[in-house]
Chains A and B, each alone.
Chain A
């Protein structure tokens, strides 16, 4: 929370100059700037809403391929039969009412030189600043059995909430009692660190209620449980004792869709329902736009502004970013990216200094059944020397145990973070 004298002087110099620029920009009826946002998920929708809240004179357009927002957080509860997809599905009318233009289309190309986005429909959208919040796309190249669309529709990921969530729930409902659910997921970093383990709890909760002779085989590519280990093990060894066979170091080699078998390096695991989350990276438009800077998967950003380190004028949010150390790929974190980005885009548009000390906070809840939830929390501060976000020592932590009280907080979190994006 301290600035060097030199940084402070630079900031003061920028501040005084900015007043004159802002005064000019405020004259006349034209928009102060045009911002285009690719992706109307937790990152893009929240950034769009906050730019409009904090600077109504900036023109904001969101390009989104779906006509509704479906929340990944809480979506595991649909698999467990503990909520319905309609309860996590929301519309964009709140953003429209705030003056955000919603264009239902697919962004297919970015021309950073000409500062425009080309859409699948053939239209182009010019921008002064572009925000790319593309989420993730799966890497099927090294999974021969899952290359066809037909195979992908039969062995589901359900790691983007929506039709796949509903389809996987139907597969679980159709599975006979005594069946085996095989769930494989990739090495970190992946979307939602505690998400796989929550999914195991939700499916176990459903089986315990409806198909008590059924089993779950967990094929975790990681060497150990990645998040909230003790809390998840308490549930697995307690309320779900004997139902869950956890196998670490289970990296995927291939999937035999016809034989309903997951193939690992030294083992093949057959099940009645397979659920495979392939390795993933930033959504494909990020690659096309030249924003990928790390491991051919993630987009490096300047954490003061969320601006790409590769392409000027383009900001990247959410799971697509190269996460700072100890920063999860989560909706909660993405919400914070979006607000740092919104403030920076406004400052840069109006010629004001950007916040030199951004803070971010994360809270991820996981439900172990229909009612009881537990959290992992962290606080991240910008470190000027390291030029990145750093987890604040002594802050953050996990629940002492899953509880109904935290279940109510988890739903409150969901309603509020949805309001942040779409309200």
Chain B
């Protein structure tokens, strides 16, 4: 009986966390990972930024990340480029992205290594 109860508990927790608003297919963790990966050409793999510019996203507070992206989207927060990017994503997608980066452990970024011989 116990495993069933645990599972039911998990489902309830997910619903309470607002996951019911997200389409079922988007609950695949691979979907959130791929959405977040669209950001990382600029912000570094898994949101760990080489040199910290643009800023690292790994391990930041989910609420803060989501609110910042929503403020870029509405134009409340000024930006050079982020307002143009944020407008390309639905609020549900922004939530998946914020949740993904919030769940990444902050750490050293993986920079590209120097060439062995400069040509």
CB within 8 Å of B: which residues of A?
A: 1-3, 8, 11-12, 15, 50, 53-54, 67-70, 85-86, 89-91, 93-94, 162-163, 166, 332, 335-336, 339-340, 343, 347, 352, 355-361, 363, 375, 377-381, 392, 394-397, 399, 403, 405-406, 408-409, 411-413, 415-423
Contacts and interface: CB of A to CB of B under 8 A. Distances in A.
Given A94-B113, A339-B34, A412-B42, A379 B80 contact: no
B118 A379 contact: no
Interface string B106-117: 000111111111
A90 B118 CA distance: 8
Contacts, number: 181
Contacts of B28: 15, 355
A352 B90 CA distance: 25
6 contacts: A89-B118, A89-B119, A91-B113, A94-B110, A359-B89, A419-B45
A419 B89 contact: no
B44 to A, nearest CB: 4
Contacts of B112: 69, 90-91, 94, 415, 418-419, 421-423
B77 to A, nearest CB: 15
A86 B30 CA distance: 37
B38 A68 contact: no
Contacts of A422: 112-113
B25 A396 contact: no
A381 B30 CA distance: 17
A409 B113 contact: no
A89 B115 CA distance: 6
A416 B119 contact: no
A343 B30 contact: yes
B12 to A, nearest CB: 21
A395 B84 contact: yes
Nearest to A405: B80
B25 A332 contact: no
Closest 5 pairs between A and B when the two form their complex, measured CB to CB: A379-B88, A423-B110, A395-B88, A422-B112, A412-B53
A396 B86 CA distance: 9
Contacts of A411: 53
A361 B111 contact: no
Interface residues of B, number: 46
Contact of B111 (A53, A396, A415): A415
Contacts of B33: 54, 343
Contacts of B115: 67-69, 86, 89-91
Contacts of B93: 1, 359
Interface in B6-65: 23-26, 28, 30-31, 33-35, 37-45, 49-51, 53-54
A137 B38 CA distance: 28
Given A1-B93, A93-B116, A395-B87, A415 B41 contact: no
Nearest to B25: A11
Contacts of A375: 80-81
Interface in B80-100: 80-81, 84-90, 92-93
B48 to A, nearest CB: 9
Contacts of A420: 40-41, 44-45
A399 to B, nearest CB: 7
A52 to B, nearest CB: 12
B32 to A, nearest CB: 10
B119 A3 contact: no
A417 B41 contact: yes
Contacts of A347: 30
